[in-house]
Every structure is written in C-alpha cells, then in structure tokens.
Amino acid sequence: MSDFMKLVSTFVDATALIMALVLVVSILHRTGRTGWFYPILMGGVFSFALVFTMSDPISLGSAGIFDMRGLLIGTAAALFGPVVGVMTLITGLLMRWDIGGPGILPGFVGMIMAYGAGLVWIVMFKKRAFATWKKSVLLGVMITSQMLAIFFAPPDLRGVLFMTLVPYTIVANVLGALLINHLISGELSFLSEAETSKIEANTDHLTGLLNRRGFEMIYPDLADQTGDRRGRALLYFDVDNFKSINDIHGHAVGDDVLRFITDEVGRNLRPHDVFARLGGDEFAIVLSRIDAAEAERIAERCRSVVSDRGFVHKDAALPVSISIGAVWMLEHSEIDQIMDAADTALYAAKTGGRNKVVFKLDRPKRLTLPVTAPT
C-alpha cells in the first residue's frame, strides 16, 4: 500500500508540473513569443519536471527505482518536437550519470528508446484522423517500449524488473500521455481558433490582403524599420473610373478587377512590404527600409504592370489603370500624417490625368502640393 501511495504521489507531482507546462504554452502563444525561444523554454520546463521526478523516485527494493522520466522524454519529443525532446533526454542522461550505480546502461537505453518512441509517434500517428484519446493511448504504449532496456540489466534481475516495473510503467505512461496530450491539444486548439478569428478580423476576404483595421494595427510595429539613410514610402492608390466599371459591367466584374490588380501589384512587391485594401477600390502599400529612388521605381512598376497587362472580360480587353500617390520620408511618421500626405499626392495624380504616379520626398508635415480642381 505504501508503494501504491508513493506512485500516486509521484504522479500527482508530475501532473502539477504538467499543468505548469500547459500554462507556459498558453502564455507563449498568447504573447506571440515563438521562434527559437519557444523550444528552448519548453525544453527547460520538461527538463525541470524530469529533474524533479528523478530526484524523488519510488524505491522498489531489489527491483530498482521508478520515476516518470520515460513519459516526460517521450511526450516532450512527440508533442513539441525533436529539439525539446533532445533537451529533456540530455537532462535525463546527465541525471542518471550523476546517480551512478549498476543500472546506468539500462537507464540510458530506456530513455533513448522513450525519445525514439516519441519521434516514431509523430510520423505514424500525430496527424492521423482519429480521436485524440486513442492517439494518446498509443503514445503511452509506445513510450513503454523503454522497458526493453531491461534486457541490458544483469540476467538474474530481468525477471524481477519485468514483473515489478512494467505494471507501474504501463499505467503511468498511458495515463500520463492521456493527460498531457489532452490538456496541451485542447489548449493549442483553442489558441489556434482564437488566432484564426484574429486573422479573419484583420483580413479583406475578397483579396486576402490586410483590411484597414489590420493595416492600422500593424503600422506602429513598423516604426523601428527605418534607419541607415533608408526610409519608408507609402503608396496610396485607387482604380481609375472604378464606379463606371461597376455601373457598366456589374459588381462581380468589379470584384474580379480588384483581385486582378491585387495579384499584379503584389507580384512586384518585396516579401516584407505591407499591402492592404483600405476599402472599396482604395489600397495602401508600405515600403520599409528603402531609399527614395527604389521606392519611386516600385511605384511606377506597380502602375505600369496594371495598365500594360490589361484586364480581360469575356475575351475582350477592358482598360484598367490605377493612380498612385506616393510619399517617401526618412523618419517615422504617424499613420494619419503619412496618409494625409499620400492622399494629397493621389489627388494630384487624379487631376493630372490619371494612370500616373505622383511621388513626393518630404516629411508629411512639410509636404505641400499645388493642385487644381479636377475637370
């Protein structure tokens, strides 16, 4: 009975650490702290849990000791990938080396096999379309392959180890894998749905670009991207005579025109440029870390590719063009200032005959454009 209570106590302690791990996962995803930092922190959390359980194992007398090392190593690899698994495995190997004794070789082999089981589970079952609990049971059973390390123990101990350790290990691994996978999968699923909703709220469904809300949210994050004498440009454009296109050909054709312009312009932008549909036929592009000459070339290329390519409707060419108001500045400016300056430049492009770029170099607060009313 005392051994059973010790098992329960050990499992409860490991469960508490698992709960802490799930909390860390949630915090990381909610704050967007991913990249290289994510696996390192996850590896640290799993390693801490492993050190905890190996520092307070269950003594089974002549049969040795029992702890949760296999479960933690296997689930770390299976649920968070090889890097997290390796960090946890190395921690376990170092701990077992420090403990010493005649069981070092079986201990090493068992941990390596648990790690391998986690990787095999990723390939064979992680993306299979069946219930999470079934995949969790399979993971627990596969991690229990660590018991094959018994065959590296002295022959006279193998029978005792098998009869004593295997029951503990099967129960702990299966229940532990069920708990860990259920909690983490549920949390990641919730966060994935929340992230999807956030993306949808900031995306224009017709073109797939950022909408005005998304554009206004991301613009402040671009504040530190200027410097080294390269500045930032805003290209603000709309479709020439777009109302006539809708009135004559219908809104479905108008939507096709917007998608056509999005595709053509998008092909001429750099991967890190920000492209957004602000509403109707109005679009904005932010070119970061760019000099004035290159910004002007990109603006002219965006204009020409639309008019030169032409839009085809019912096997007939439909003339389509855009007018662009472009502003380049060396220093960061608030979104309202740069938008006002670009709007003034766009107005000049419209009054100057359409299908053209009006490009200005200045800080928005000092930019003035002599314009006349359109005729």
Domain boundaries defined on the chain? 2-201, 212-366
**What pLDDT was estimated at residue 73?**
94
List 313's β-bridge partners, or say none.
Answer: 316
CB 47 within 8 A of CB 91: yes
pLDDT of residue 63: 52
Backbone angles phi, psi at 239, to 5 degrees: -90, 130
Nearest one of 190, 184, 231 to 362, comparing CA atoms: 231
**CATH fold for domain 212-366:** Alpha-Beta Plaits (3.30.70)
Residues with Cβ within 8 Å of residue 55, at least 6 apart in sequence: 95
Spell out where 43-142 has E strands.
58-59, 65-66
Q: Which residues contact 306 (CB under 8 A, 6 or more apart)?
A: 260, 261, 264, 265, 320, 321, 322
pLDDT at 29 over 90: no
As beta bridge partners, residue 316 has 313
Residue with tokens 């200005």: 360
Rounded to an integer, the average pLDDT of 322-332 is 89
pLDDT at 365 over 70: no
Higher pLDDT, 371 or 251: 251
Of 2-16, 73-87, 222-236, 278-292, the least confident: 2-16
Residue 332 has pLDDT above 70, yes or no: yes
Is the per-residue pLDDT at 337 higher than 50? yes
Percent of the chain clearing pLDDT 90 (strictly above): 38
35 Rama class: left (phi>0) / alpha (psi -120 to 50) / beta: left
CATH 1.10.1760.20: does it fit domain 2-201?
A: yes
Q: Which 8-state DSSP code applies to residue 233?
A: E
Handedness of CA 116, 119, 123, 129 (dihedral sign): positive
Mean pLDDT within 9-38? 64
Contacts of 29 (CB under 8 A, 6+ apart): 188, 191, 195
pLDDT at 119: 95
Considering the entire predicted model, what is its pTM? 0.52
From 124-138, 195-209, 271-285, 350-364, the region with the lowest mean pLDDT = 195-209
The reported pLDDT for the residue numbered 33 is 54
Give CA–CA dist 218/274, Å, rounded: 9
The alpha carbon of 248 is separated from its chain's Cα centroid by a whole number of angstroms, namely: 44
Question: What average pLDDT does range 366-375 have in this prediction?
Answer: 44
Residues 210, 213, 219, CA angle at the centre, nearest 5°?
75
Radius of gyration of the chain, Cα coordinates, nearest whole angstrom: 31
Q: Give the per-residue pLDDT at 324.
A: 96
Pick from 96-110, 155-169, 229-243, 361-375: least confident: 361-375
Question: Do residues 166 and 147 lie in contact, with contact meaning Cβ atoms separated by under 8 Å?
Answer: yes
**Least confident interval from 62-66, 101-105, 119-123, 183-187:** 62-66
Taking residues 8-19, what's their average pLDDT?
A: 63
pLDDT of 253 strictly over 80: yes
- 369 vs 116, higher pLDDT: 116
Count of alpha carbons within 13 Å of 70, Cβ hemisphere only?
33
Residue 375 pLDDT level (bands cut at 50, 70, 90) = very low
Burial class (CB in 10 A: 0-12, 13-18, 19+), 230: middle
Residues 181 and 191: their CA atoms lie apart, in Å, by: 15
* pLDDT higher than threshold 60 for residue 190: no
User: Interior CA angle at 18 toward 15 and 19, to 5°?
Assistant: 90
Place of tokens 């702290």: 33
